[in-house]
Structures are given as structure tokens and as C-alpha cells.
């Protein structure tokens, strides 16, 4: 006797309703079913009959969870080469029993929605690096905050005293500053040293 709760039987029911003229949108509302779930049921109908028969013979192995989360969620992969990969997985499941989990149909490790542990670690390291760079930029910007009126006043004062162009810099965060005296020739340096002594 056929199992009325079998996903294959429910897929046949959906196909009958669609062939009678009902739309997918109407069936979604009538059955209160997500459209992706409805499409997964309909994809089961595209399987070759021998694979369907094997799945119906082992309902404890081929539960709705295995059919949908493993096979129907990777339709493109399992439908390749006339369902060759699907056929291999079904044979493995039958040989190994219900406790065997089918191979994932992806070529890279992705253990959870956030990606593999390696990619999560890389993402965290990149975020830390960006945060450090932003903090450094903020610190240097704060250090460069200058009171321009005072600096211009001191530059003019030095220029009047010495007679050379002077650059004054001061960092409020570090509480330190520097004065640069610009001159062109060696005799200007001698003159400056005489003036200071």
C-alpha cells in the first residue's frame, strides 16, 4: 500500500491539480505552502521511475528531510548527466542504511550559513585590521588639530625675531611641538647661530 504522506505522492497530487488548470499561486494559498517547497515537490516528478521506486521501497532512509534538504535543494547538481549523481547517492544510501549522510554537492567546505570556520576567521581578522586602521587615522587627525591663529602668531613672531621663514607645529594630544627654520645658504645658518648666542 502506498504511503499517502510520501513526498512523491504529494507531488503527484500537485501535478494533477496543476493539470486541472489550477495555478501555482492558487495552490500556494490553498495548501498554505511556500512556493520553493512546492517547486521542490514538483522537481521530484522529474526523477526517473526506477529512482522513485527505490526511494518508495526505503521510506525510513528517504525521508522528506533527505529528499528536500539534500537532493531538492541542489537540483542543478543532482540533475546533471541524466541524474547520474543522484543515482550514485541513492545507491550509497541504500547500501549504508539510514544513518549514512549523503555527500554534499558542493566543492568547498561550507559547514554553516556564515561560511567555513576558516573564512569566518579571515573575515574577523580583516575587520580587526580595518578597525585598527580607522583608529590610527582618527588618532593622527586628532593630533593634527591645530590652533591656526596661535600658530600663525608664533610663526610671525619667530620670523620677526630671526628674519627667516619659520614653520611651527604643535600636537595637543601629545603636548609637544616643533619649530623648523628654513634657510638657503650656509652663511644664513652662521648668521642664525650668532643671533641665537
What are the pLDDT tens digits along the chain (197 aa)? 355 567 888 888 888 888 888 888 888 888 888 888 888 888 888 888 898 888 888 888 888 888 888 888 888 888 888 888 889 888 888 888 766 555 554 444 444 555 566 677 777 888 888 888 888 777 766 665 556 667 778 788 888 888 888 887 777 666 777 888 887 888 888 888 887 77
| Residues 183, 163: Cα–Cα separation, whole Å | 10
Q: Please check whether residue 153 is in contact with residue 167, taking contact to mean a CB–CB distance below 8 angstroms.
A: no
> Per the domain annotation, does 132 fall within a domain?
no
Residues 6+ apart with CB under 8 A from 181: 158, 162, 164, 165, 166, 192
Expressed as residue numbers, the domain containing 171 is 143-196
> Within a domain: residue 110?
no
Do 75 and 148 belong to one domain?
no
With CA atoms as reference, report the closest residue to 84 among 35, 47, 131, 123.
47
Q: 158 and 92: one domain?
A: no
Q: Is residue 109 part of a domain?
A: no
Q: Is residue 59 part of a domain?
A: yes
Global pTM reads 0.46
Amino acid at each position: 500500500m502506498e504511503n499517502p504522506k510520501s513526498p512523491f505522492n504529494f507531488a503527484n497530487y500537485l501535478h494533477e491539480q496543476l493539470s486541472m488548470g489550477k495555478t501555482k499561486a492558487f495552490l500556494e494559498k490553498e495548501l498554505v505552502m511556500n512556493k520553493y517547497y512546492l517547486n521542490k515537490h514538483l522537481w521530484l516528478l522529474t526523477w526517473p521511475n526506477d529512482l522513485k521506486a527505490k526511494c518508495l521501497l526505503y521510506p525510513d532512509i528517504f525521508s522528506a528531510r533527505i529528499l528536500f534538504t539534500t537532493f531538492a535543494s541542489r537540483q542543478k547538481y543532482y540533475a546533471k548527466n541524466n541524474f547520474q549523481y543522484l543515482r550514485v547517492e541513492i545507491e550509497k544510501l541504500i547500501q549504508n542504511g539510514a544513518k549514512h549522510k549523503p555527500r554534499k554537492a558542493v566543492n568547498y567546505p561550507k559547514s554553516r550559513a556564515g561560511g567555513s570556520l576558516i573564512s569566518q576567521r579571515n573575515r574577523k581578522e580583516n575587520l580587526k585590521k580595518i578597525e585598527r586602521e580607522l583608529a590610527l587615522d582618527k588618532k593622527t587627525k586628532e593630533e593634527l588639530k591645530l590652533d591656526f591663529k596661535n600658530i600663525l602668531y608664533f610663526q610671525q613672531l619667530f620670523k620677526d625675531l630671526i628674519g627667516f621663514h619659520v614653520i611651527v607645529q604643535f600636537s595637543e594630544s601629545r603636548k609637544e611641538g616643533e619649530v623648523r627654520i628654513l634657510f638657503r645658504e650656509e652663511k644664513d645658518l652662521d648668521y642664525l647661530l650668532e643671533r641665537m648666542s
